[in-house]
Amino acid sequence: MSAKQARADHGRSAELGLRLRLWAQGAMTWFFAKRGDAMARTLQAPWRDDPYPLYAQLRAQGPLARSKLGVVVATTHQLCDEVLRDRRFGVRTSDGSYGDPTAAAVDLQLSLLELDPPDHSRLRRLAAPAFRPRRLETYRERIAEIAHELLDRAVERGEFDVIRDFAAPLPIRVICELLKLPPLDAERLAHHGRVLAGALDGVRSARQLRQMRESFGELDALFTELIEQRRAEPGEDIVSDLVAALDDDKLSGTELVQMCDLLLVAGFETTVNLIGNGTHALLKHPDQWDLLRADPNLASAVVEETLRWDPPVQMTMRIAHEDVELAGHRLGADTAVLMLLASAGRDPAVHGDPDRFDIARPDRGDHLAFSSGIHYCLGAPLARMEAEVAFRCLATQLPDLRRAGAPVPRPTSIIHGLSALPVTTDRTLSPT
């Protein structure tokens, strides 16, 4: 047998093994979901489309719940925040390997999201200057220009889709300008975002794995070329800053490309769902939409209440690096704990009447939607500003906006949002 044939046979065998493993995982999750396990149901349709009653069931089990899937779950605001800030926990196992064996098998990594200190600290310091609020404020006017332009185009059609025509292209264009990327196909970038964000749920099929590899391959090729361009002609952008760090041996070439992948995908994927979820919530609650229309300065309040009430990122994992005592339970080293960030946002110990969407509530900003501790979302200031501008523009430019059909939920659990939100308006031109 030739070496080429041997490699081909090994590849087919590995893919078959992956298929069997994924089938077994899916079958087990579905089995326990059908038998009423709340955590298993958050991972399966149709229950995952509205997971909040499931989170309430898990909170009723106590701050630390256990699923028949073998998962340990932090359900309250206090415990989630405690674990996220505890340096005894990390995103990898105690020996530094991947916590997700499937991700390890296919070598899927999104830079900072998959690293513990000291590598996480080193790379975060390099990227942080580009996302400082004062620096990002210089983009506010440009973000508003893009938002108005997108809404003008959408209004010309009378009926449009909030996700496709507004929520997705807005942050895509912003992050491309922030990274000083050449003009790119927005639909293709949105596809990469959906594929790689889906990776956060874990690999569910061999087809999905192929899509992930294709997306990573396209983005890696894009950034490899861009890095060479920035080395030849550096500019005032984060890619140029990272190339300088590469040349100073502060990070490796692989780390630089992975960092660019993360900045591009995370730079718009969370914001797409923040804008979509917030718009959906406003249109479902006409009294809140009326408040925003009457006072567009409440746009920032809409951002925070959406992050509390229906956050784009529902949960995140941490792994104990040593034996720990947590909420009266003894956990051994390498025990994974799932933090239900969305459950923390509806914790009645923190928020009165937590299931009510209320942009006037005083405690709306007390949430964990951007995580906490050393992994607090680097792009949080950018996401907040983009969403604030988006909600303000909707209220001032399209005050008669209303739903024109049923929203379509995304088929994911960790990333929570809509793939479609059809709306309509009577306006034909934006006000001058």
Give the tens place of pLDDT for each residue, 12-36.
555 666 677 777 777 888 899 999 9
**Average pLDDT along the chain:** 86
Residue ranges of the alpha helices (H) in 43-114?
52-60, 77-85, 101-106
CA distances 357 to 294, 310, 352, 392, 406, Å, are 17, 9, 11, 18, 19
CA distance 137 to 142: 10
Higher pLDDT residue, 89 or 259?
89
Report the distance separating Cα 65 and Cα 213, nearest Å: 35
First vs last C-alpha separation in the chain: 73
Distance of alpha carbon 31 from alpha carbon 401, whole angstroms: 42
Give the HSE-up count for residue 86: Cα atoms under 13 Å, Cβ half-sphere. Answer: 20
Secondary structure (3-state) at 319? strand
Residue 20: the pLDDT is 75
- Per-residue pLDDT, averaged over 407-427, amounts to 92
Give the model's pLDDT for residue 13. 57
Name the CATH superfamily for 3-99+116-424. Cytochrome P450 (1.10.630.10)
CA–CA dist 419, 167 (Å, integer): 10
Rounded distance between C-alpha atoms, residue 114 and residue 108, angstroms: 9
Confidence of residue 185 (pLDDT cuts 50, 70, 90): low
Residues 126, 242 contacting (CB under 8 angstroms): yes
pLDDT in tens, 274-309: 999 999 999 999 999 999 999 999 999 999 999 999
| 18 exposure class (CB count in 10 Å sphere: 0-12, 13-18, 19+) | middle
Task: Pick 113 or 318 by higher pLDDT.
Answer: 318
Burial state string for 271-293 with b = 16 or more CB within 10 A and e = fewer than 16: bbbbbbbbbbbbbebeebbebbb
What percentage of the chain has pLDDT greater than the value 70?
Answer: 87
Strands 72-74 and 336-339: parallel
The span from the CA of 238 to the CA of 142, in Å, is 18
What was the pLDDT predicted at 10? 45
Q: What is the pLDDT of residues 71-85, one digit of tens each?
A: 899 999 999 999 999
* Share above pLDDT 90 across residues of the chain, in percent, rounded to a whole number: 51
Q: What is the pLDDT of residue 140?
A: 93
The amino acid present at 177, given as its one-letter code, is E
Asked if the model's pLDDT at residue 4 lies above 70, the reply is no
Residue 428, pLDDT score: 58
Mean pLDDT of 337-345: 97
- Residues 65-118: pLDDT tens digits? 999 988 899 999 999 999 999 999 998 887 776 555 545 444 555 566 778 888
| Closest-CA residue to 179 (of 239, 235, 241, 259) | 239
Q: What pLDDT band is residue 254 in, cutting at 50, 70 and 90?
A: confident
The stretch 322-336 carries a mean pLDDT of 94
Residue with tokens 């296919």: 106
Q: What is the pLDDT of residue 308?
A: 98
- Identify how many contiguous H helices and E strands the chain contains and give both numbers: 18, 12
pLDDT of residue 9: 47
Domain limits, the chain = 3-99+116-424
Kindly indicate the confidence band of residue 198, based on its pLDDT and cuts at 50, 70 and 90: low
Among 87-91, 212-216, 303-307, 397-401, the minimum mean pLDDT is found in 212-216
pLDDT in tens, 110-143: 566 778 888 888 888 888 887 888 888 888 999 9
Q: Confidence class of residue 431 from pLDDT cuts 50, 70 and 90? A: very low
For residue 6, pLDDT beyond 50: no
What is the helix (H) or strand (E) element at residue 315, kind and residue range? none
pTM, full prediction: 0.90
Specify whether the backbone of 324 is left (phi greater than 0), alpha (psi in -120 to 50) or beta: beta
Mean pLDDT across the stretch 388-417?
A: 94
Token digits of residue 286: 């006409």
Residue 396 is predicted with a pLDDT of 96
